[in-house]
Amino acid sequence: MSDLDPYALRPDFPILSREIHGKPLVYLDNAATSQKPFAVLNASRDYYESYNSNIHRGVHHLAQCATAGHEKARETIANHLNATRPEEIIFTSGTTDAINIVASSLGRSNRLKAGDEIIISGLEHHSNTVPWQMLCERLGITLRVIPVFDDGTLDLVTYDSMLSERTALVAVSHISNAFGTVNNVIHICSQAEKHGALSLIDGAQSIPHQHIDLKVIGCDFYVFSGHKVYAPTGIGILFGRYDLLCELPPPRGGGEMIREVTFENTTYNDPPFKYEAGTPNIEGAIALATALDYVNNIGIDRISAHEHRLIQKAAERISALDGVTLYGPSDRAGALSFGFSGIHHYDLGTLLDQMGFALRTGHHCCQPLMARFGITGTLRASFAAYNTNEEVEQLGEALEKALRMLR
């Protein structure tokens, strides 16, 4: 496997050539959203210019072209994830929407009852916390949390002991958006299955960085957002095991998700359409499939190895600075979170912005995790295929300059 050359990729991303405050843009906020290559931008433009139409409902040529493009995208995504069949792929507006769909459908089913337990982890994004809290409050279910060690990894021994016949669902992130911790989701899902519990994996941070094989992971649900993996915002994926999708009630009603409607009764369509009420984000689905094709043409293993080298280099460079704390394990993916004693992360991020650097500051929608470590937030550098060693060195130099100004 040859090393990835990020300089060969950078011309594909038009935004990377712009300046911020008169300085070349160094974009290191990829965990929040990735930039988009021409292939994806052109796919979106081509849809609207060439065959924009509503899908599944028209016999005219444009409707047939749009339907074919939309359903071909579903097949591409199913193949990328190694799903059993395309019908297991539900188009959503993103990870948050997908998790809420599962929570709502489970809440309307007969699978949950008062006294049951749902397990999440202390690393979770609010999107994989709040929907389960709301469900627990409504049904009298207990929410339990897997503890986080000081190195930012999960205490899986305690997790194993938490599982019981009361466990109805385990919902855990594949990779922490805040610390870059890679969780052992194969173990988490297999242990849940042994106790008769369902499993949901939040793949928002893993989809851009790792090869995802759903059959190997063994989860019942897997969710992610397109905009993390070079696709537009407003499109996401909910994978669900087909038998579960057939069993669970749909969370929303409307057009397309029905088989037949009378004023007395409604029968629902088969998956995936049962969960896709209304006109979907057709362009977004096509662009997401294009983004995954783009990733596969580069090679996800090459991307992963390149990003791992960048994170290791960044950790070494930043750890040499006075007063720094790096959060999370030494073996991270996607993101590096850090802070400096006596300096607020927002102040440091603001100065870096003036130098052309885009990094994330704050709690990263992980307030319980920040509280666990006694901090209000961190500065986070997160990486993509187009980032370079030169940018890592520039970040180190910019941090040194900013720290001199703040101390």
Average confidence score pLDDT of the chain: 97
**How sure is the predictor about 245, in pLDDT bands with cuts at 50, 70 and 90?**
very high
Residue 233 pLDDT > 90: yes
E strand or H helix that includes residue 326: strand 324-327
- Predicted confidence at residue 262, as pLDDT, reads 86
CATH number 3.40.50.970 is the correct assignment for the domain at 6-30+299-406: no
Arithmetic mean of pLDDT, 299-314: 98
Half-sphere exposure of 222 (CA within 13 A, CB side): 28
- Predicted confidence at residue 394, as pLDDT, reads 98
Return the CATH class of domain 41-296: alpha beta
Arithmetic mean of pLDDT, 137-145: 97
Catalytically annotated residues:
365
Q: 269 near 258, Cβ under 8 Å? A: yes
Domain ranges across the chain: 6-30+299-406, 41-296
Provide the 10 A C-beta neighbour count for residue 52. 13
Residue 374 pLDDT > 90: yes
**How sure is the predictor about 189, in pLDDT bands with cuts at 50, 70 and 90?**
very high
Q: Collect all residues with Cβ–Cβ distance below 8 Å to 201 and sequence separation of at least 6.
A: 171, 172, 173, 174, 185, 189, 217, 219, 221, 222, 223
In CATH terms, are 6-30+299-406 and 41-296 the same topology? Answer: no
